[in-house]
């Protein structure tokens, strides 16, 4: 007797095999095994002539989906069918969310098993959890499957109906998405706010006071009992004080005059207030809050966070990572409280177990928050993890443990000090009992905020005290435009608006960047000109589809379908084919949309047109000779395009580039230009005999106006031949690349050895001896300044014969053998670390499923947000679209075949 267990991924399968008897065979489906067709060639011949075939959804027959097995899954399906032949029982053990339920349902339709079937779910992969899940199997939840199928159909209808419209009216390859387009609009709205922003300036005074040898800061807040203006008093659209505000706006002259007037006058404490504050710990992580914190603290993108979390889950380190719930099981609460007791003491334990409830009405993805797996929590040091795996687990462990810790008790102190008619305020914070802050402090979306709560100690003061003024200065300020969205703040906004599911945010943000709607620069999501054009078109002609309220209501309906409160078919009919349905709107609006207008981005204060072309955004203006077009550099954002930059780009096009001078050797002119990829210098003119003059990009951070003739001449010498390597005779060069200046030892077919050039070394002046010195240094590991030189050599592995060494890593010393890295315990001495200890540590890591760091592991086979990303597969394939269009125009229909192909086995 044998039982076949099917999960999604090989990693999950390997982990679960360890917990099941030998009579169980565990295989992986590699994610979804069936989906709507993603290209014309996947559409069955029997239905290619149908006009709905390109959608993959028969809108004429109750929105019947046309499911196909992709080419890359046919081998997997055959292997699963072969495995089922030898089984006496089938257990579908895919994830417990809607996607997992859907995968199990599709497997059931394809495999058509004749043996007993069970649906097994679990939220962590531990021996105890798997054995328990085996005794509590259930049937497939068809309502959840229907909700996922409706979501999939909705996303296909939106994507495949609107994307072709964008191709025709704006540019080929663009895509629209039910949630994606709303997220893009949020980015564009913020960028519009930045363009509309008008900077305001104000001045105040800052004092350094002293009492009892303790210094503290004080800031000017009033003059003559009138509040002094600060940044919050300014209107962002005018740069002026908000109408009706009774505040005193100081300029530099007034601030310095006030400083002189009170410079040597006595200071007196006029008021003192102490306010006790109690802070409670944040609840354990959900998918959304984990993505936000990992972005703030670890600078991980949403996709990267989910990939690493998926790996940790599949290897048994954490519970399921797609969840809206903040609930902890009794077992998890006990485990967390045990950690607090052991590591911090009973005084840091909350008096009663903390039980968190989920506020979100639609929370349904899993039964628990994201937490360490098991009935006892391994500390981060006990896991054997390293690198970014360790850091993410550490974040999850700390947040979970902190959730069961005592409140933090603080006292906030406010001191008002008077000097003449000027009032100053000092703020302090005293941590009376740190409580949960000993373990964890939540990050902030404010880039200027510290992640750690720190005390600000004020001296013992009372009303009437006269502190000494050690320093007094006038300080100027300028108001700042609204901050761009980071991945963390965008995820937070989407969740707060009820748009999409948290489990799809990573994929959505990735799609926005991949499709060219936004650039991720310094952790900020900056929308492109294309995003402006697409958003304007959708706002004008399909406002509901980019409205957060409308999209949120769609999510609520999908949740209601999952619980049986709403019917899927009437909803789809109203959304797509009703009087105001999407298909009707597209037919009505298509002829009303002027492609030339749609490709034009209107920006305030810019007289030239900004247009979207085949190769990106460009400026278009008229002069006496006719239209003038000039490319907009790719790194120039809509918020930063001002009249001065427009004038320069157009002038460069009409009058030619700015000449620096003549090359001292060739006599050719040298120009400074701005191209699609930023500023560069050029030697000579473009002509029939010199179609591609020599060019060189400016070093990163170098402004075009600071370039001198000598610098340009030097840049045009790049790559510089420094000489020959004394050992190989191969050439050694210095050059500028995508990631900055570097030296390279070029041995032709043997390969190239690179080293970065860091200040104070300069690519334009570095000599051969220094280059050889750099090349002789061990190459730094990517993302780390640590070298590959071992701290200690332990000896050869008894089986492989490979050397086992201890290295210094980003998070401390670790032992390495082949692809397996294992961190040493914090209290472990490198000097006393032996080969036997290393073998034990590596064996434990390998048994736990640890191979290479998950930051280098294969991508998860299950796509969390397939519902939106699959929509875009076709959008970028012009040939596919042409085939589909041709197929749809065939006059012969094969309705009988259609019904047979499209009909599902089980409803």
The residues annotated with a catalytic role in the active site are 320
Alpha-carbon distance of 385 to 842, in angstroms, equals 11
- DSSP element (H, E) containing 130: helix 127-134
Q: Encoding tokens for residue 841? A: 């540590």
Structure tokens at 41: 């060639």
**Cβ neighbours, 10 Å, residue 880:** 19
In this structure, what token pair is assigned to residue 559? 């949740």
Contact 851, 842 (CB under 8 A): no
What is the C-alpha to C-alpha distance for residues 562 and 427, in angstroms, rounded to an integer?
A: 51
Do 671 and 657 contact (CB within 8 A), yes or no?
yes
* Helical pair 487-497 and 502-514, crossing angle rounded to 10 deg: 130
Please enumerate, as own/partner, the contacts of 514-519 that have beta carbons within 8 Å and a separation of 24 or more: 515/173, 515/174, 515/175, 515/872, 517/184, 517/187, 518/184, 518/187, 519/637
Put residue 855 in one of left, alpha, beta given phi > 0 → left and psi -120 to 50 → alpha.
alpha
Q: Which two tokens stand for residue 575?
A: 């959304």
Q: Are the beta carbons of 64 and 903 closer than 8 angstroms? A: yes
Instruction: Supply 566's token pair.
Output: 């709403």
What is the torsion angle, in degrees rounded to the nearest 10, for the CA atoms of residue 683, residue 684, residue 688 and residue 692?
Answer: 10
| CB distance 320 to 100 below 8 Å | no
How far apart CA 116 and CA 286 sit, in angstroms, is 35
Stated as kind and residue range, the H or E segment containing 201 is strand 201-211
In 3-state terms, the chain is what percent helix, strand and coil (to 5)?
35, 20, 40
Cα separation, 755 vs 742, in Å, equals 6
The DSSP symbol for 228 reads: B
**Cis amide leading into 693 (omega within 30):** no
């Amino acid at each position: 007797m044998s039982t076949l267990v099917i999960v999604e991924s090989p990693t999950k399968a390997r982990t679960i095999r360890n917990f099941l008897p030998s009579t169980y065979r565990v295989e992986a489906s590699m994610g979804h095994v069936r989906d709507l067709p993603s290209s014309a060639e996947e559409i069955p011949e029997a239905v290619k002539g149908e006009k709905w075939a390109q959608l993959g959804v028969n809108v004429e027959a109750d929105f019947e989906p046309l499911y196909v097995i992709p080419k890359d899954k046919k081998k997997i399906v055959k292997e699963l069918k072969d495995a089922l032949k030898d089984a006496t029982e089938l257990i579908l053990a895919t994830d417990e969310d809607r996607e997992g339920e859907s995968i199990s349902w599709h497997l059931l339709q394809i495999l058509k098993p004749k043996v007993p079937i069970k649906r097994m779910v679990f939220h962590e992969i531990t021996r105890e959890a798997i054995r328990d899940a085996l005794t509590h199997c259930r049937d497939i939840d068809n309502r959840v499957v229907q909700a996922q199928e409706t979501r999939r159909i909705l996303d296909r209808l939106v994507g495949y109906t609107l994307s072709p419209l964008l191709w025709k009216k704006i540019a080929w390859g663009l895509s629209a998405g039910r949630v994606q387009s709303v997220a893009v609009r949020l980015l564009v709205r913020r960028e519009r706010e930045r363009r509309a922003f008008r900077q305001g300036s104000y001045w105040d005074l800052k004092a350094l006071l002293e009492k009892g040898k303790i210094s503290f800061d004080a800031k000017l807040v009033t003059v003559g009992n009138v509040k002094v203006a600060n940044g919050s008093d300014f209107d962002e659209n005018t740069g002026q004080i908000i109408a009706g505000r009774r505040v005193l706006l100081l300029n530099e002259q007034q601030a310095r005059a006030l400083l002189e007037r009170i410079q040597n006058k006595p200071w007196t404490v006029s008021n003192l207030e102490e306010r006790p504050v109690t802070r409670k710990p944040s609840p354990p992580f959900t998918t959304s809050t984990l993505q936000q914190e990992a972005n703030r603290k670890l600078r991980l993108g949403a996709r990267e966070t989910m990939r690493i979390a998926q790996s940790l889950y599949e290897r048994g380190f954490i519970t399921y990572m797609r969840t809206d719930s903040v609930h902890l099981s009794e077992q998890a609460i006990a485990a967390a409280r045990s950690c607090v007791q052991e590591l911090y003491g009973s005084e840091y334990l909350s008096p009663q177990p903390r039980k968190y409830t989920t506020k979100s009405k639609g929370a349904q993805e899993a039964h628990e928050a994201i937490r360490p797996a098991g009935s006892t929590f391994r500390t981060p040091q006990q896991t054997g993890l390293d690198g970014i795996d360790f850091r993410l687990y550490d974040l999850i462990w700390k947040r979970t443990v902190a959730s069961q810790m005592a409140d933090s008790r603080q006292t906030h102190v406010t001191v008002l000090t008077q000097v003449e008619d000027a009032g100053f305020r000092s703020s302090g914070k005293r941590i009376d009992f740190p409580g949960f802050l000993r373990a964890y402090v939540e990050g902030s979306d404010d880039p200027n905020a510290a992640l750690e709560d720190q005390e600000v100690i004020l001296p013992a003061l009372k009303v009437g005290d006269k502190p000494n003024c050690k320093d007094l200065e006038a300080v100027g300020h300028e108001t700042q435009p609204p901050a761009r969205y980071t991945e963390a703040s965008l995820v937070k906004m989407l969740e707060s608006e009820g748009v999409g599911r948290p489990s799809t945010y990573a994929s959505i943000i990735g799609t926005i960047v991949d499709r060219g709607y936004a650039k991720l620069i310094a952790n900020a999501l900056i929308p492109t000109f294309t995003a402006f054009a697409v958003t304007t078109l959708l706002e004008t002609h399909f406002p509901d589809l980019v409205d957060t309220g409308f999209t949120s209501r769609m999510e609520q309906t999908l949740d209601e379908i999952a619980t049986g409160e709403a019917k899927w078919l009437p909803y789809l009919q109203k959304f797509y084919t009703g009087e105001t349905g999407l298909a009707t709107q597209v037919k009505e609006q298509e002829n009303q949309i002027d492609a030339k207008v749609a490709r034009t981005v209107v920006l305030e204060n810019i007289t030239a047109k900004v247009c979207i072309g085949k190769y990106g955004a460009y400026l278009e203006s008229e002069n006496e000779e006719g239209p003038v077009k000039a490319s907009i550099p790719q790194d120039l954002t809509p918020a930063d395009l001002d009249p001065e930059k427009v004038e320069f780009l157009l002038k460069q096009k009409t009058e030619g580039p700015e000449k620096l001078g003549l090359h001292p050797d060739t006599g050719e002119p040298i120009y400074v230009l701005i191209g699609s990829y930023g500023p560069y210098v050029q030697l000579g003119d473009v002509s029939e005999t010199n179609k591609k003059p020599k060019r060189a990009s400016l070093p990163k951070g170098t402004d075009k106006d600071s370039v001198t003739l000598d610098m340009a001449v030097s840049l045009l010498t790049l790559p510089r031949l420094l000489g020959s390597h004394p050992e190989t005779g191969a050439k050694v060069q210095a050059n500028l690349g995508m990631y900055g200046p570097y030296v390279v030892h070029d041995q032709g077919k043997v390969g190239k050895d690179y080293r970065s050039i860091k200040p104070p070394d300069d690519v334009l002046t570095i000599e051969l001896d220094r280059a050889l010195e750099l090349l002789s240094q061990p190459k730094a590991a990517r993302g780390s300044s640590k070298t590959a030189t071992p701290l200690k050599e332990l000896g050869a592995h008894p089986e492989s014969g490979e050397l086992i060494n201890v290295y210094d890593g980003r998070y401390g010393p670790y032992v390495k053998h082949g692809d397996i890295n294992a961190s040493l315990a914090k209290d472990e001495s490198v000097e006393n670390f032996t080969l036997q200890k290393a073998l034990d540590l590596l064996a434990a890591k390998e048994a736990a499923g640890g191979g290479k760091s998950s930051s280098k592991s294969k991508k998860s086979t299950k796509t969390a947000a397939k519902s939106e990303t699959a929509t875009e597969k076709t959008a970028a394939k012009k040939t596919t679209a042409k085939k589909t269009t041709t197929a749809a125009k065939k006059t012969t229909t094969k309705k009988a075949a259609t019904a047979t192909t499209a009909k599902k086995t089980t409803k």
